[in-house]
Amino acid sequence: MEDKSKKVIGRKFYSRNTEKVAKKLLGKAIVTKKESTCVGVIIETEAYFGLDDPASHAYNGITPRTKLMFGKPGIAYVYLCYGMYYLFNIVTGKEGSAGAVLIRSLLPVCGIDMMKKRRNKKSIKNLSNGPGKLALAMGIDIGDNGKDVTNSKNDLFILDLGIIIYNEDIKAGKRVGIKKGTGKLLRFYLRHEKLEKINDIKFFC
DNA sequence: ACCACGATGAACT
DNA sequence: GTTCATCGTGGTC
């Protein structure tokens, strides 16, 4: 990963409209530097808004947990789901308005052996194709809640690998795993053809 | 004080 | 294919 085209994404990227950030995060990479460096390309996201979004944690206003969603963009929002799995979100929008993008699926790129070990799997199949799975594979847990993902000195940040995503590469669907607020298409993922192209790229690890 | 909510793997059948 | 186990948050009563 020693290419000039690869750069850490700054805070401005996240300060825009949440839906836009959710689309723009497709093709970007999550990097964690824990026991070893792991990198995964984001291939599915969901946008969550604030007081006007019944599916959002921030729907009912500021609480100790949701205050991060109202705060500075580019901050990791991690929470426990079903008592077992951590889900990784990035806070979006201007400070004061709530918003976050849930990362739902990754294409493993670097540190695959570490990811397999964390997931207790020997195949790359289904290694990080779900929000709980990818957090486990990347070593993300509640200790990462509140971390700044715009700082490459941290052990968790987002990198632009230079992968170009066109609008026609992006598909939209209804958000999943929720009962309210399913009306709008706020889940975004890459077309199969695009995934195969990304899979063919040779990444240096 | 109580209840609804939510992702995944394992262990069944 | 179905069922089960797992727990912290926050709303409602």
Task: Provide the pLDDT for residue A179.
Answer: 84
Task: Provide the pLDDT for residue A3.
Answer: 56
Give pLDDT tens digits for A135-183.
999 999 999 999 999 999 999 999 999 999 999 999 999 999 888 888 8
Strand C contact with A98 (CB < 7 A): no
Closest CA to the C1' of C10: that residue is A63
Q: Is residue A95 packed enough to be buried (19+ CB in 10 Å), middle (13-18) or exposed (0-12)?
A: exposed
Give CA A2 to chain center in angstroms: 22
Which nucleotide in the DNA or RNA is closest to residue A62, CA to C1'? C10
Check whether A130 has a pLDDT greater than 90. Answer: yes
Task: Provide the pLDDT for residue A4.
Answer: 60
- Asked if residues A29 and A137 have their Cβ atoms less than 8 Å apart, the reply is no
Check whether A41 has a pLDDT greater than 90. Answer: yes
Q: What does each C-alpha distance from A151 to A8, A9, A132, A134 come to in angstroms?
A: 7, 9, 24, 21
- The pTM assigned to this predicted structure is 0.94
